[in-house]
Structure 1
Amino acid sequence: MTERVADRLLRWFDQHGRRDLPWQQEGPHGRRDAYRVWLSEVMLQQTQVATVIPYFHRFVEALPTLGDLACADEDTVLALWSGLGYYRRARFLHQAAQRCAEIHDGELPRNFGALRALPGIGRSTAGAILAQAHGLRFPILDGNVKRVLTRYHGIHGDPGQSAVEKELWQFAESHTPDQRVADYTQAIMDLGATVCVRSQPRCGDCPLQEDCVAHREGLTAQLPTAKPGKRQPVRSTLMLILRDEQGRVLLERRGPQGVWSGLWSLPEASDPDAAWRIAEQWARVDDARPLSQFTHVFSHYKLAVEPLLFDRASARPGVADQPLQRWCDRDECAALGLPAPVRVLLQSLQADHEESP
């Protein structure tokens, strides 16, 4: 059965698999570049391929090697990552590159344990790097693979639970072939991404449909078992946009804890009175204009944002010298790691400012 699954997936991959993804390019030794494989694996966590590709191109154009990433400052890394979300991934990526520069001669190690010891690299990511870049026999278990194996074997229960995940790892291990490991790894990921999709899977196009439990028993809508639904709480905040005559805005670096940690963002306040106190702390201001509210959705809650524009603000002396606050023009904002909704908000305001007489 193990060979049958792998053989069918490989035959399907030879006809329908994706071979033109930017991180699949082979290096001078006929293998995919481990750095690019690693970067793609991290970017693809909780993010779809179509979304990742332009970010991947931008990232490797600016930082083409692991050494370049290790030498980059955090603001550069976060600016390149801005918009992908889950910024902890970018920080771990940066920290792991620096660790490699320190103790692995500037390369990703080929040892599974050494890879696992790097920040942000779990079992599946380590396996994917070794299988994709070096052809070594290691299983993977990302979200797409979990869905394929859950349906194929008819496994009930939340795939995130330890007992279910342990069972899935056993199946992932047993199905991984000894030959063409990189192609097999890509094949099972591709099957989950393009055929065995979350809603309305295309079972008629699946090479595993013949003995897939979910297909046979009509359980594709029930498997994988969904997590118990929770109503997302809503939090509210006022975002202060202090903009001077030159169109510069005041940004502040967020602390190491909480959402958007370490990114540059807009000052925030809990109510209008607090907003005025904060604004007057950093600039001389005359009036404030509320802008259109919006809601940003995080994994565990929703953030209702009310932007408040303090236009033609005049910076108080010494603000530019503060390590956690700075006035930034458009180009400076583009070079910093900003939360995606803040970047979009500032870009729209910049466009309005340039069009105004």
Structure 2
Amino acid sequence: MSPIPNFSTRLIQWQKQHGRNHLPWQVKDPYSVWLSEIMLQQTQVATVLDYYPRFLNRFPNVGTLSDAAEDDVLSLWAGLGYYSRARNLHKAAKQVVGQFGGEFPQTRQELETLCGVGRSTAAAISAFAFNQRETILDGNVKRVLCRVFALDGNPQDKKFENRLWQLAESLMPSENHDMPAYTQGLMDLGATVCKRSNPLCRQCPMSDICEAKKQNRIAELPRKKTAAEVQTLPLYWLIVRDRQGRILLHKRPAKGIWGGLYCVPCFENLDGLHQAARNLNLDSDGLTEQAAFTHRLTHRLLMITPFTADERPSENFSDSLWVAQESLADYGLPKPLLNYLNQAQSSLF
């Protein structure tokens, strides 16, 4: 018998008995579902469980998020990474209010018009919040499908991805009310059972129909993507305090590393750092180089070298932001900077 007719029924029954059924975003409110789906992009559930309630408490609905200042949104996002998600979240909230009257659209196609919402994310929102028959296809789902149906192809090939989309659409249950459990089941199966390494095949509801298991190809499928080269990028921090002991911060450009966050003046070369010191009327010879350290981003390894000023600026500059040590967390600093300043405050100054 073909596994296709049995797939959704098996998955729904398994999810209700063994899946994750107590996550705080498993609700019908589309705002809450949307927020969780954006946070869960490239981020583990355990991490989101820490950020999600704080964000929801500060911005309980799409209206409050739309009205918020971008800096407030970014400060709550600090540490989650991929900061373009937070900026898109803020823009999308304004879209919902301005274009849809504050009510989330129900169809996948309309949801895809929101900033930061792609096809799979839109499908998840429409399935969870509105019981729409739309399928997701994230990394976990691709792994499940490639193994259960022994599909072998280049994961970066568009034709192969389209084939996976077609298969995913064919597997959906016929009843709309089954879509939340089915969609959650896809996520749960890939995340907790059909894992990339050391999958728990004995606990899998598809074990007896899994073609990769029959062919002994579980370790082989799905094919791994070509690993992106990790580039090392030097960064130099200029850490300056004024006469009141406040630290100088600048807002980062929207594009690039830590986009939109507040940070100490940050440069990719020493010439830029020394020029900034001169602009503050600081003698470059009065800068002390601190021990360098590394911080890993997805495709970059940052080699960060902090420099501290041995003297205070001779005047306050109107275009500069000076923040007290105890208030730094309110400004959405990059996590490595906040950790560094908190750990080193007694020894740096």
SS of the residue aligned with 2:331?
Answer: coil
| 1:335 correspondence with 2:330 | yes
Report the equivalent of 2:340. Answer: 345
Is the CA contact 2:12–2:182 (under 8 Å) kept in the aligned structure 1?
yes
- 2:181 aligned partner, one-letter code: D
**Selected match of 2:224 from 208, 223, 226:** 226
Structure 2 unaligned residues grouped into runs of 5+: none
Report the equivalent of 1:279. Answer: 277
* Cα 1:270/1:259, change in 2 over 3 Å: closer
Structure 2 Cα separation of the partners of residues 37 and 270 of structure 1: 39
- 1:60 aligned partner, one-letter code: L
SS of the residue aligned with 1:305?
Answer: strand
Is the CA contact 2:294–2:303 (under 8 Å) kept in the aligned structure 1?
yes
Report the equivalent of 2:88. Answer: 92
SS of the residue aligned with 1:235?
Answer: strand
Structure 2 Cα separation of the partners of residues 62 and 312 of structure 1: 39
Identity percentage over the alignment?
Answer: 42
Deviations 1:298-355 (A, max 9, x none): 22222111111225523623x2x21xx31111354222232222222222234657xx
Structure 2 Cα separation of the partners of residues 271 and 12 of structure 1: 55
* TM-score, normalised via structure 1 length: 0.90
Q: CA RMSD in A?
A: 2.0
| 1:106 correspondence with 2:102 | yes
* TM-score, normalised via structure 2 length: 0.92
Is the CA contact 2:233–2:268 (under 8 Å) kept in the aligned structure 1?
no
Alignment of 1:77-156 (within 5 A): 77-156=73-152
Is the CA contact 2:128–2:180 (under 8 Å) kept in the aligned structure 1?
yes
Number of aligned residues: 344
Instruction: Give the superposition deviation at 1:289.
Output: 2.7
Report the equivalent of 1:17. Answer: 19
**Selected match of 1:207 from 205, 208, 214:** 205
User: Higher mean Cα deviation, 240-249 or 209-218?
Assistant: 240-249
SS of the residue aligned with 1:170?
Answer: helix
Report the equivalent of 1:308. Answer: 307
* Cα 1:58/1:156, change in 2 over 3 Å: same
Structure 2 Cα separation of the partners of residues 118 and 288 of structure 1: 46
Deviations 1:51-105 (A, max 9, x none): 1111111110111111111011100111111111111111111101001111111
* Cα 1:315/1:64, change in 2 over 3 Å: farther
- 1:254 aligned partner, one-letter code: R
Report the equivalent of 2:255. Answer: 257
- 2:321 aligned partner, one-letter code: R
SS of the residue aligned with 1:335?
Answer: helix
